[in-house]
Structure 1
Amino acid sequence: MNGRLLTGYVLRRLGQALVVLWGAITLSFLIVQLTPGDPARLMVMGGEGGDAGAANEEQLAQVRADMGLDQPVILQYLGYLGRVVTFDWGTAYSQQRQSVTDVIGQGIGSTLELGAVSLLLMTALGIVFALGSVLLPTAWLRSAFQGVTVIGIAVPSFVLAIALLQIFSFQLGWFPAFGADGLRSVLLPSITIALLGAGTLSQVFARSIREVSAEGYVEVARARGLSPAQVVLRHVLRNASLPVYTIVGMLVGGIVSGAAIIETIFGRPGIGNLYVEAVSARDFPLIQALIVLTGGIYVLVTLIVDLSYPLIDPRVVSPAARRTR
């Protein structure tokens, strides 16, 4: 592998990741600027659940000073960038005026647990259904596997979550319906998220397997007498897996956004629930921190996926490969 090409590839991906992260930070800043009315008044009284007209001027002045709202917009933006870099997010008014950093620290562990288990299950199910739709011996079995994947794409997340709760928690009693206590409590919400993403993943993977299977070197492998399963497992999977890495990276964003619905339905504490509470209370510092956090997670996962491409297929770092991507 050419070292100069690889270095250029890595630097381009790092630059793209920084641009996307900067975009998320700027978007979180603009949310406050574009809010109709007085953001400080909405935030103070929204966080306390009171009448917005009852906020005293001393409180409002303090909030404006803390968030830099009493300065010109350009100075507000520069100050906000400085607070982002130093992780100084201020006060979460909807959470008993705790530090935003502390509030996120208390909820992120549960969401990361949910996301990690969901991603593992989603990837496993996607691969199994993709291989089944390609390798099963009869056409009706292959069609059945393909048909099942449509469910994950077509069914809304809240409908699937409620159905799984009704069957496996309320009727069978296999899993707890609510809370975040131990492995059993995370399995059902993780399965819900996994089923929603596995359909997309399996369809993309199956299509990639079929496209790679039409390549000339695969025909040579078949001519050597290898079985269909041996051809796919030995010669097709590696090259067919690149779109899977891309889709997995994209689905991380879906897991994070879907956590708000799933955590609410299953009564789990976490970042998703914090999003709902922060938006309801117009808690702008918490909303901004959550946007940057979720954007950062998405950027990090996508960057890891991009940097893993040359390990799977060294051709992706070549100029010719870049022109065809």
Structure 2
Amino acid sequence: MPASSADAPAQVDARFSAAPLEDPGARLRRTARRVVSRLLGALLVLWGAATAAFLAQAVLPGDRATIIFNIRAGQPIERTPEELAAINAQYGFQDPVLTQYLHHLSGLVRGDLGESYQQFRPVTDVIGEQLAPTLVLTLTAIALAWAGMVVWVVLTAGRGRRTAGLGAAVDTATAGLPHYWLGIVLLLVFALQLRWFPVISGNSPAGLLLPALTLAVPLAGFMGQATRTEFERALQQPFVLSARTRGAGDLAIRLRHVLRHAALPAVTLSGWALGATISGAVVVETVYTRAGIGRVLVTAVNNQDLPIVTGVVLLVAALYVVANLLVDLVHGLVDPRTAKGGRPS
């Protein structure tokens, strides 16, 4: 006799519960191989970023000693060979390129990003002083993007052609909004016209919201595009029918069952989102006159302070690597089958 529709979800779940228990030693070895593989990939990314940062300085047109001399003088002036020789000796520019490269890598291993050409201070100190405001802005933006995406997708996905179409259209429209344009619009409307928020962001909670929304709105649209398809597909799965037969309400089913299955694309994008929002902070911190590494980077680029520029680039690469390692861990928590090398059905 064929199984009833109410028994189908139990049969689906039995595919996993009936699987033979895995040997703990094999699971430990697989986990170790997976961790080592991820760490090697992370080190490769960091090495590539460090190499690119070095080459960006090495192939810069013009003499680096002359650039540093002009930065310190505040304007191009005549310099003597002795003055240039002193700068070359200080920074090791007279050494072979390979020697400079190895010195660059060894400094990074020790946590030494060099010294600012203009401020005469370690790059780690210059960046470290402004890192906290940028991280607060970035994490707040990601949290707002997740909250907005979840609410919008849960309310509109699988609700009929018109509602679902409206939801998808809003996702597409918001995902394409430029940070600079959106920041100016929010600033004009909510700060200058309505006066709900300060024009200059500062470090207050009220001053944080508009910059965070400027980063969060496009990110929410982008994650919504990735999540909506999986959400609507999950609504057709047998476990939804099983939950309905047990008397669960529509909203409870969407939040407790469907969202978990549909969230994996957004979880994956969260690693990319951390790097993207930190990059977007360069624009947002400028628009809102907010402290952070974005403004440090803009100032360093304008002043040709290359150690700070490369330091920010390496920091973003490191944060991106850490974020992706965390995303991989969260993947295993959301769907344990991904930790076994399988794919969610």
- Judge same fold: TM > 0.5, yes or no: yes
- Give the corresponding residue for 2:213: 191
**1:253-284 C-alpha deviation (Å, 9 max, x unpaired):** 11011111111111112111111111121111
Distance 1:141 1:292 in 2: 44
Aligned 1:172-183 pairs, distance under 5 A:
172-183=194-205
25, 38, 48: which one pairs with 1:23?
A: 48
- Give the corresponding residue for 1:32: 57
Distance 1:132 1:63, change over 3 A: farther
- 1:90–1:285: 8 Å Cα contact kept in structure 2? yes
**1:74-107 C-alpha deviation (Å, 9 max, x unpaired):** 111110011112222332123x323322211221
304, 307, 310: which one pairs with 1:288?
A: 310
1:164 Cα offset (Å): 0.5
Distance 1:74 1:258, change over 3 A: same
Q: Which runs of 4+ in 1 moved over 6 A?
A: none
Distance 1:59 1:129 in 2: 62
Distance 1:141 1:4 in 2: 48
- Give the corresponding residue for 2:30: 5
Indicate yes or no: 2:235 matched with 1:213: yes
- Give the corresponding residue for 2:13: none
1:180 Cα offset (Å): 1.6
Secondary structure of the structure 1 residue equivalent to 2:111: coil
Aligned 1:133-152 pairs, distance under 5 A:
133-134=156-157, 137=159, 139-152=161-174
- Give the corresponding residue for 2:190: 168
Q: What RMSD, in angstroms, separates the aligned Cα atoms of the two structures?
A: 2.3
Identity of aligned residues (%): 34
115, 138, 141: which one pairs with 2:138?
A: 115
- Give the corresponding residue for 2:121: 98
- 2:286–2:295: 8 Å Cα contact kept in structure 1? yes
Question: Which amino acid in 1 is paired with 2:280?
Answer: G
Distance 1:68 1:214, change over 3 A: farther
1:188 Cα offset (Å): 0.8
Distance 1:50 1:101 in 2: 26
- Give the corresponding residue for 1:240: 262
- 1:43–1:281: 8 Å Cα contact kept in structure 2? no
Aligned 1:53-64 pairs, distance under 5 A:
54-64=78-88
Distance 1:10 1:308 in 2: 14
Indicate yes or no: 2:38 matched with 1:42: no
- Give the corresponding residue for 2:18: none
Distance 1:235 1:32 in 2: 52
Aligned residues: 320
- 2:157–2:163: 8 Å Cα contact kept in structure 1? no
1:18 Cα offset (Å): 1.3
Question: Which amino acid in 1 is paired with 2:78?
Answer: A
- Give the corresponding residue for 2:9: none
Question: Which amino acid in 2 is paired with 1:118?
Answer: A
- 1:168–1:174: 8 Å Cα contact kept in structure 2? yes
Runs of at least 5 residues in structure 2 that lack an aligned partner in the other structure = 1-21
- 1:48–1:93: 8 Å Cα contact kept in structure 2? no
* Higher relative contact order, structure no. (Cα contacts within 8 Å, ≥ 6 residues apart): 1
- Give the corresponding residue for 1:127: 150
Indicate yes or no: 2:110 matched with 1:89: no
Q: Which has the larger radius of gyration?
A: 2
Runs of at least 5 residues in structure 1 that lack an aligned partner in the other structure = none
Indicate yes or no: 2:94 matched with 1:70: yes
Distance 1:178 1:71 in 2: 46
**1:101-147 C-alpha deviation (Å, 9 max, x unpaired):** 22112211211121121111111111111212216x56434433333
**1:183-237 C-alpha deviation (Å, 9 max, x unpaired):** 1111111111111211001111111212333334444445556444333333322
Distance 1:67 1:242, change over 3 A: farther
Secondary structure of the structure 2 residue equivalent to 1:273: helix
Distance 2:32 2:112 in 1: 34
Question: Which amino acid in 2 is paired with 1:25?
Answer: A
Distance 1:84 1:62, change over 3 A: farther
The structure with the largest helix share of the pair is: 1
- Give the corresponding residue for 1:318: 340
**1:57-89 C-alpha deviation (Å, 9 max, x unpaired):** 344334333433211111111100111122223
TM-score (structure 1 length as normaliser):
0.90
Distance 1:223 1:295, change over 3 A: same
- 2:133–2:203: 8 Å Cα contact kept in structure 1? no
Distance 1:5 1:157 in 2: 42
Question: Which amino acid in 2 is paired with 1:83?
Answer: G
Secondary structure of the structure 1 residue equivalent to 2:266: helix
Question: Which amino acid in 1 is paired with 2:284?
Answer: I
